[in-house]
A and B are shown apart, each in its own frame.
Chain A
Amino acid sequence: MRTRGEGFAGSAVTRTIRLYGNWSKRNSWNRLELFSLKGTPKEFRVALLKALGLDVDEKGVYVTKDGNPVIDGYIDKPVRFENMAIFPGSTIVLDDNPLSIASYIEEHGEIS
């Protein structure tokens, strides 16, 4: 089944930015692109989560894995469906906020 984003034509833009600096041994900031989920239709987000082995709860509020809410360990809170960030490697799912982003970058910078 294909998901369609009718009515979202105006926001159907892949937003990417180039990042600089050390990301990790395998994946440097220079290579990693960011895809902004802002403005994407719910169906698209759900399809993306399912493709990554994740899902959203029945109320559509929190990201889940195996039926359980995914917790952002950097702030000890469940990740919100409307505010999620997903990083490659071990498919790390975070709440998209400056503290979690800074914590993630700091931790993964230590790998190199």
Chain B
Amino acid sequence: MVRKYLQHVADGVAAAILAAMFLTFVIQVFSRYVMSNPMGWTLELCLTLWLWLVFWGNAFVVRDRDHVTFDIVYLMSPRKLRQVLATVSALAIATGLAVSILPTWDYIDFMKIKKSATLHIPMRTVFSIYALFLGAIVLRNLWRVVQIWRDGKTFDADRISETSEP
């Protein structure tokens, strides 16, 4: 119940970011073409929103099956083997990204000295979404391992059913 509610909130935020990007762009075209007085901040806002859309989206909205994946081998494997493969994947992602969290945060934190060009937001704020992304993906993949072994029969039902014949 709580998870479903949180998912709605996450989806809503992603939709709002995209809608804001779209509106900002319309304002930009309007200000340049109709008012012949382009506003510098629209472009910067769009780029910031785009960054947030990518990393917020991947942290909380994109499902495993939405990713670009080379899954011929995976889909051909029997279920037990799929459990092992999926576990290796999830652990590799969790470890790889977890290792990078501290050094990456050093970099992001260092960027507080730099401000964005027109809106003068500290770049640390703009880039902080990446730290959130790293943390969320690590936790998601650790949780994934639990799921794989707890729901052994159904853990990848959504991926299997997509390409199978009716």
Chains A and B bind each other: no
Where the two chains meet, the residues of A that have a C-beta atom closer than 8 Å to any C-beta of B are none
